[in-house]
Amino acid sequence: MEIIYAIILGLVQGIAEFLPISSSGHLVIAEALLRQLTDGGLPEIFAGLTMEIALHAGTLMSIVVVYFRELLALTRQRERLFRIVMASIPVACVGVFLRDMMEPVFDNALMAGCCLLFTAVILLLTRRCQRAAGKEDSGESLTMGRAMVIGAMQAVAILPGISRAGMTISGGLLCGLSGRESASFSFQLALPAVGGAALLEVISLMQQETSVAEELLPLLVGAAVSFLTGLLALRWLLALLAQGRMHRFSAYCGAVGLLTIVWQLLSD
């Protein structure tokens, strides 16, 4: 059953990571549903951050595959690399200093529902900006100020239910960037953010006295499924941005958020 759970969560992560609907929020909701359907018998590995980091590592590799050429070009773009580093500082501070405090949040479906409503509002605000989503834009338009705004929005998106892709791409659109440039910088920012979170989790696991060997197979399966699904979802998102349709996901986020809130309130 652990493998089946890992496949389900991998599918959820792969689809929701790149679409602006919050993968972390959907994982929290999916885990809560699985717990309820199994009468609380969900294996411990699927609770908390360990599985979530593994799933994010899978979608991280999707970014590397899709943006491979751009990532290679980054090695010759010192100014853009510096902006990525600076824009990553807010989420790094949240991850390092508030990590223990954030752990219980990733087990709270009610909060995930509320945060999905917030994501829906942000997506609606970008509707007018997306009219320019199909236009080409130079990397020079990404000023340090715009990069820091996008970085701050990424830090807010650490909460489950607030879409990282939705917040960072919306931040870019609201700052005047094109959809292509917003998406490119958004996913470049994901590399240090997700990679850093994965590193912290690995260090934490290494410090534990118990062995994680038995947990390795479902972690690998979940990561592999999220990687393959993420490839398809990322390419779909880029096509939607070119058509200026990202804001349409606001209705979905709003509906799932409201249903989750009602479900949680009735469950209590």
The predicted structure's pLDDT at residue 133: 43
Q: Are 48 and 107 in contact (CB under 8 A)?
A: yes
CB atoms within 10 A of CB 165: 28
3-state SS, residue 93: helix
| HEC string for 189-242 | HHHHHHHHHHHHHHHHHHHCCCCCHHHHHHHHHHHHHHHHHHHHHHHHHHHHHH
- What pLDDT shows up at residue 162? 94
Q: Give the range of the structural domain holding residue 120, as residue numbers without chain letter.
A: 2-267
Buried b (16+ CB within 10 A) or exposed e, 227-256: bebbbebbeebbebbeebebbebbebbbeb
- Nearest Cα to Cα of residue 91 among 15, 168, 14, 17: 168
CA distance 34 to 31: 5
Per-residue model confidence (pLDDT) at position 46: 59
Number of domains in the chain: 1
What's the DSSP call for residue 39? T
Model pLDDT, residue 132? 45
Calpha distance 30→14 (Å, rounded): 13
Q: Global pTM?
A: 0.81
Quote the pLDDT of residue 101.
Answer: 73
Q: What is the structure's pLDDT at 217?
A: 82
> 139, 236, 126, 129: which is closest to 184 by C-alpha?
139
Q: What is the pLDDT of residue 134?
A: 44
The whole-number mean pLDDT for each consecutive block of 10 residues of the chain, a chain of 268 residues, reads 84 89 88 77 59 83 91 90 94 78 79 95 80 46 92 92 92 87 90 75 63 70 93 92 85 96 89
Query: H/E element holding 99?
Result: helix 99-102
Give the whole-angstrom CA distance, residue 176 versus residue 128: 11
